[in-house]
Amino acid sequence: SRSGGRPRLPAPAGLLGDPDPEEAVSDDSSRHGGRVRGFPHERGNWATHVYLPYIAQEEFLELLELLVSRARTYVPSLAAMEEFHLSLSQCVVLRYHWIEPFVRSLRERLAAFHRFFCVADQVKVYTNQNKTRTFIGLEVSAGHFQLLELVSEVDGVLEEFDLPTFYKDPSFHISLAWCVGDLSGRLEGLCLRELQDIVDGFEDSAFVLRIQWEQIRCKSGNKYFSFPLR
C-alpha cells in the first residue's frame, strides 16, 4: 500500500500495463510539441481511441515527404506524423475498471467484419475541435460505406458506456502532418491545390493510396488491443 493510504485493489485480469500509470500527469505542453490536452488528466481516467492502424510503406513515405516539404513553404512549423491511422471514434475517457468490459464488447461487435480496401487520395485540411491544432490529411474517396458500418458498431459500444459517439457526418482520413494553432487559412486555397496536384501526379499513386485494412485497434492509456478482420 502507499504510505498514508489504503491498500491498492488488485487490477482486473487480462489488462497489460500499469494499473495506475504515472505518465502525462502534468499538462506541460512544452513536453509534447506544444500540443494541448483535449481534457484534463485525472488519475483513473484513461484516454481511449478506436482506429484502423496504417503501416506506411516506402512509397507512401516518399509521397509524405513531398507533401510536407511543399506545405512547409506556407507553414514552416508543420511536422510530419510518425504513425498513421484512420479514426473510428473520438478520443473518450474510460475509467480503469471499464476497460476490460469495453474491449470485450468491441471484440464481440467487430468479430463478423472482413478485411476491405479503401482509397485515401483527397488532400484536406482539418482542425481539432478546440482549434489548437491543424492537420493535413488524405480523405477517403472510396470505402466510405464499410467505414460507416464499423463506426456504427463502435458507436454502439460507446453508447453502452454513455460515452460520446463519432461525428455525425465523418470525414474519414489519414492525418499526414500537423502544427500548433489554427493555421488552416494558410494551408487552404493555393497550398491545398498544390498538394492535390502532387498526389495526382505521384507515380503509382492509385496503388500507393489503395489501402487494405486488416485489423482494428483500441488504445486506452498505455494499453493496446487488436481486433483482426476476417
Residue stretches of the chain with pLDDT short of 70: 1-41
Q: Could you give phi then psi for residue 21, rounded to 5 degrees?
A: -65, 150
Q: Is residue 194 part of a domain?
A: yes
At 204 the pLDDT is 87
Residue 173 annotated as catalytic: yes
pTM of the model: 0.83
Helix (H) or strand (E) holding 106: helix 99-110
Q: Which CATH number goes with the domain that contains 131?
A: 3.90.1140.10
Q: What is the pLDDT of residue 10?
A: 36
Domain region containing 173: 42-228
Active-site hit among 85, 97, 114, 144? 85
At 4 the pLDDT is 40
Sign for the CA dihedral angle at 18, 23, 26, 29 comes to negative
Rounded CA Rg of the chain: 19
**C-alpha cell at position 63:** 509521397
Q: Among this protein's residues, is 41 annotated catalytic?
A: no
- The answer as to whether 18 is a domain residue is no
Q: Quick one: angle between helices 99-110 and 144-160, nearest 10?
A: 140
Asked if the structure places residue 3 within a domain, the reply is: no
Q: How many separate domains does the chain show?
A: 1
